[in-house]
Structure 1
Amino acid sequence: MAHRALVIAMLPAIGLRVLVILGFPPALLFYGDSFAFLSEDLAPGTARPSGYSLLLALLRPAHSLTLVTVLQHLLMLALAVAVYALLRRRGLPGWGAALLVTPILYDEFNLLLEHMIMADAVFIVLVGAAVVLLVWRVSPATAAVGGLLLGLAGITRTVGLPLLILAAAYLLVRRYGWRPLLALLVAGAIPLGAYATWMKVEKGKFGLTEADGNFLWSRTMSFADCGVIKPPERLAVLCPTMPVEQRPYPPHWLWESFSPLLKVPGTAHRNELAGQFAQRAILAQPGDYLAAVATDLTQLLRWERTAVEEKTPYKLPRSERPINESVRGVAESYEAGPAATRVVEPFAGWLRAYQRFGYVPFPLLVVALVGALVAALVRRRWDALLPGLAALALVASPPFLAAYDVRYVIPAIPLVCLAVGLVLGGRSRPASGSAASHRATAEASRSAPA
């Protein structure tokens, strides 16, 4: 059997997902993002885009959270197969390609996100599929599909927006020609433009969210000193009052009652003022800003994802979590019945035990990413740069724009696996489509006698 190694790797991975479905029906709910995504009142989100909400709306007639999670599990398995197929195409043996996709198949956080009503699993698949397609073969058609996937990723999580620009730069630098580049940009702009137009119609603002300024402002709460910033009176209301050493982690400043952000009336006005304050704070205290970012990034050197006693929403529950009365109706309307996460033993217990060791330590992930980028330059494996730089962007950008969260690192895992495999495999195939023929024609004309 040509793909025996993949089959051997896939079967236990499928078994783990069956255990998740049996152990935690119908789904894992993340307070309070899951309920915002599940809301029947479909509208552009304030703090996050609603691309995932649109998917849930398409599946709503089935009234099944289990259907949502099963689909997410299947999509992640399909992504692993796609990465494997590309690596085999690039010359890796079956066992090598199968080994490199095991983090996608077995990382406990992937299992968690696939079973959670959150946008992350869909985002990971959209980005991964787009990068696989663009590395596999570049033509106007594949570039258009890749651009469309990246555009959909951008309306699923805004951190995906730079990846469309990165993909365009990749096509430009690799000289694939103007047709694939144009196809990528136009196709990517379609979902982004449609969503921004919807936002304009519903909320009067052409954009994807009304919270980019709020998130950047929360980042500055790690260091902001209004004695140094000297903000004008209209921004001074956003100054923190507690000492730096007593301040909570940035996300708390977005929602908690102590936050001065909540004193500013009007969603759009609040976001605008927060963005202006953040820009002034960063310009006035650039060293402190970079130090706060660096402190967050040191979390990538932590070997253990979560300590045993650490309180985090990313641990599989030990007991059923009742849904708060304020949002119970939202979940039960979607499910057409009880929607609270049930805990079914012994399956749940087996998975809680697996969660303690079934993951890729982030220090190894960072080493693999840096090694892949360096090797891609040294060995001239240029195709490895697209997944490698995309992974770097996904890992590094959240601490600059908001804060570090272990959940934000997980989308890089498939991309790092792909980058490492492309470095270890055969050389990049010649550019396809019109770009290759144009280069060949140009070289022929230069070598022809005058």
Structure 2
Amino acid sequence: MAHRALVIAMLPAIGLRVLAVLGFPPALLFYGDSFAFLREELSPGTTRPSGYSLLLALLRPAHSLTVVTVLQHLLGLALAVAVYALLRRRGLPGWGATLLVTPLLFDEFLVLLEHMIMADAVFIVLVTAAIVLVVWRVTPATAAIGGLLLGLAGITRTVGLPLLILTAAYLLIRRYGWRPLLALLVAGAIPLGAYATWTKVEKGKFALTEADGNFLWSRTMSFADCAVIKPPDRLAVLCPTMPVAERPYPPYWLWESFSPLLKVPGAANRNKLAGEFGRAAILAQPGAYLGAVSTDLGQLLRWERTGAAEKTPYKLPAAERPLSESVRGIAESYEGGPAATRVVEPFAGWLRAYQRFGYVPFPLLMLALGGALVTALVRRRWDALLPGVAALALVVSPPFLAAFDVRYVIPAIPLIFLALGLAIAARSPSRQEPAEPEQEALNVA
């Protein structure tokens, strides 16, 4: 049996997801993002795009959060199979391809995100599936589908936008011809343009969100010193008053009552002024900015993702947390009944125990990424560079634009091991199929 190793690996991976469904019904809820996504009134999001809300709206008639999480679990398993299939196509043996998709099947954080009402699991599938398609074989059709998936990823999480540009650059540099490049860009622009138009109609601004400036401003709260920045009066209201050593982590500045951001009226105006302040702070204190980014990136050297005593929303709960009155109606309307996460033993306990060790530590993950990029360059496995550079962008960009969060690193996991597999593969695309530019020349002839 050619795929015996994968079948053997899939069985316990499915078992982990069954434990999640049985142990934490109907879903894990992230305060308060999950409830923003679940709202019945569809509108373009202010802080985050609403692409995931559109998917939830399609599934709303089922009135079941379990349907959502089971779908996400199935998508996660299907993604591992797709990566495996591409690696086998590139000549890796069954056991080797299976070994490289093991993190996709068994990483506890991927299982957690698949069981959570959050956009991350769908985003991971959209991005990785798009890159798998483009790397599989470049044609106008695969490029168009890949572009559409990346466009959908961009309206799911805005960090997906640079990946569309990276993929276009890959096609351009590799000289695959104008037809795949045009197909990618046009298809990617369709969901992005439609969503931005929706925002224009609803809010009067052609954009995906009204929060990019807010996040950049919060990033600068780690170091901003208005005595150095000397902002004009209209920006001075955004100056922090706390001493640097006492300031909380950047995301807290977006929501907490002490934040000067809340003093600025109007979402669009707030975002505009915050962006101006953020850019001014970075230009006035570039060393402090890079120091803050470096400190955040240093989190990638932690062996444990979360400490034993660390408070984090990414730990599986040991007891049910009742829903607050402000959000209960939203969740129960979608579920058609009680929607608080229940904790069912012993299944929940088994999965909590697995969470303590079932992951690839970040230092090893970064070593795999660095090894994939170096090997790709040395062996001239250019197709490995697309997922490798995309993974690097996903890991590095949040500390520059907002702040480090464990959750922001997880989407890079499938891309890292895809890149590593392609870099060490026995065959390169040029030896197993005609290059696209040559094919186009034949078509013209």
Taking structure 2 as the reference length, the TM-score comes to 0.98
Aligned to 1:48: 48
Aligned to 1:341: 341
Contact 2:138 / 2:436 at 8 angstroms: preserved in 1?
Answer: no
Paired letter, 2:147: G
Q: Deviations over 1:201-222 (max 9, x none)?
A: 0000100000000000000000
Aligned to 1:240: 240
> How does 1:245-260 map onto structure 2 within 5 Å?
245-260=245-260
Paired letter, 2:187: A
Q: CA deviation at 1:168?
A: 0.2
Q: Deviations over 1:347-383 (max 9, x none)?
A: 0000110000000100000000011101111110000
Q: Deviations over 1:297-356 (max 9, x none)?
A: 000000001111110000000000100100100000000000000000000000110000
2-structure distance, mates of 1:266, 1:429: 52
Do the aligned partners of residues 441 and 59 (structure 1) sit closer, same or farther apart at CA in structure 2, a change above 3 Å counting?
A: closer
Does 1:185 find its partner at 2:185? yes
Paired letter, 2:43: A
Q: CA deviation at 1:426?
A: 2.2
* Percentage of matched positions with identical amino acids: 83
2-structure distance, mates of 1:438, 1:50: 39
Paired letter, 1:360: V
Q: CA deviation at 1:427?
A: 3.4
1-structure distance, mates of 2:271, 2:296: 24
Q: CA deviation at 1:180?
A: 0.1
Aligned to 2:437: 435
Q: Report SS of the residue matched to 2:321.
A: coil
Do the aligned partners of residues 144 and 441 (structure 1) sit closer, same or farther apart at CA in structure 2, a change above 3 Å counting?
A: closer
2-structure distance, mates of 1:28, 1:242: 35
Q: What runs of 5+ residues in structure 2 fail to find an aligned partner?
A: none
Contact 2:264 / 2:270 at 8 angstroms: preserved in 1?
Answer: yes
Q: CA deviation at 1:429?
A: 1.3
Paired letter, 2:239: C
Single out whichever of 421-430 and 95-104 deviates more from structure 2.
Answer: 421-430
Aligned to 2:130: 130
Do the aligned partners of residues 35 and 90 (structure 1) sit closer, same or farther apart at CA in structure 2, a change above 3 Å counting?
A: same
Aligned alpha-carbon RMSD (Å): 1.2
Taking structure 1 as the reference length, the TM-score comes to 0.97
> How does 1:51-450 map onto structure 2 within 5 Å?
51-430=51-430, 432=434, 434-438=436-440
Q: Deviations over 1:39-67 (max 9, x none)?
A: 00100000000000000000000000000
Contact 1:84 / 1:98 at 8 angstroms: preserved in 2?
Answer: yes
Paired letter, 2:6: L
Q: What runs of 5+ residues in structure 1 fail to find an aligned partner?
A: 446-450
Q: CA deviation at 1:432?
A: 4.9
Q: Report SS of the residue matched to 2:429.
A: coil
Aligned to 2:29: 29
2-structure distance, mates of 1:356, 1:173: 43
Structure 1 stretches of at least 4 aligned residues deviating more than 3 Å after TM superposition = 431-434, 438-442
Paired letter, 2:163: L
Contact 1:250 / 1:403 at 8 angstroms: preserved in 2?
Answer: yes
Aligned to 1:14: 14
2-structure distance, mates of 1:65, 1:432: 46
Single out whichever of 333-342 and 421-430 deviates more from structure 2.
Answer: 421-430
